[in-house]
């Protein structure tokens, strides 16, 4: 399977959530059954790179995957990179329905947890 292309344009520190609905047919009439499947999504600085940011994934049967980039993950997220979503079915088949590039725009207001600033 050639993954569909979905590039992530992220703004540092902001929550980023999206939903993937998987279909078993091109007409999108038959739900892809995710019963017993594991779904993972990762951001890396390059394909096979060692710097890994694991995205949060939640499966809702029969065919929905919710993916979240949590604000605390930006502390280790590369400014540019790649990502993909990989499904391992209950019988061990592995497929990658989505992949793309990642671009993180620096934020202005720092929303990451930092030590408190004492003002006088």
Ordered per-residue pLDDT tens for the chain, 120 residues: 689 999 999 999 999 999 999 999 999 999 999 999 999 999 999 999 999 999 999 999 999 999 999 999 998 899 999 999 999 999 999 999 999 999 999 988 876 655 555 555
pLDDT at 10: 96
Domain positions in the chain: 4-105
pLDDT at 82: 98
pLDDT at 110: 73
Instruction: For the domain covering 4-105, report its CATH number.
Output: 2.60.40.10
pLDDT at 114: 52
pLDDT at 92: 97
Distance CA 63, CA 33 (A): 6
């Amino acid at each position: 399977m050639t993954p569909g292309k979905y590039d992530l344009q992220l703004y540092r520190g902001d929550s980023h959530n999206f939903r993937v609905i998987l279909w078993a047919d091109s007409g999108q009439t038959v739900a892809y059954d995710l019963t017993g499947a594991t779904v993972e999504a990762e951001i890396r600085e390059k394909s096979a790179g060692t710097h890994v940011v694991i995205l949060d994934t939640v499966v809702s049967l029969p065919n929905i995957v919710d993916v979240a980039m949590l604000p605390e993950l930006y502390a280790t997220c590369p400014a540019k990179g790649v990502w993909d979503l990989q499904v391992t079915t209950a019988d061990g088949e592995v497929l990658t329905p989505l992949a793309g590039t990642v671009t993180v725009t620096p934020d202005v207001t720092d929303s990451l947890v930092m030590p408190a600033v004492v003002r006088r």
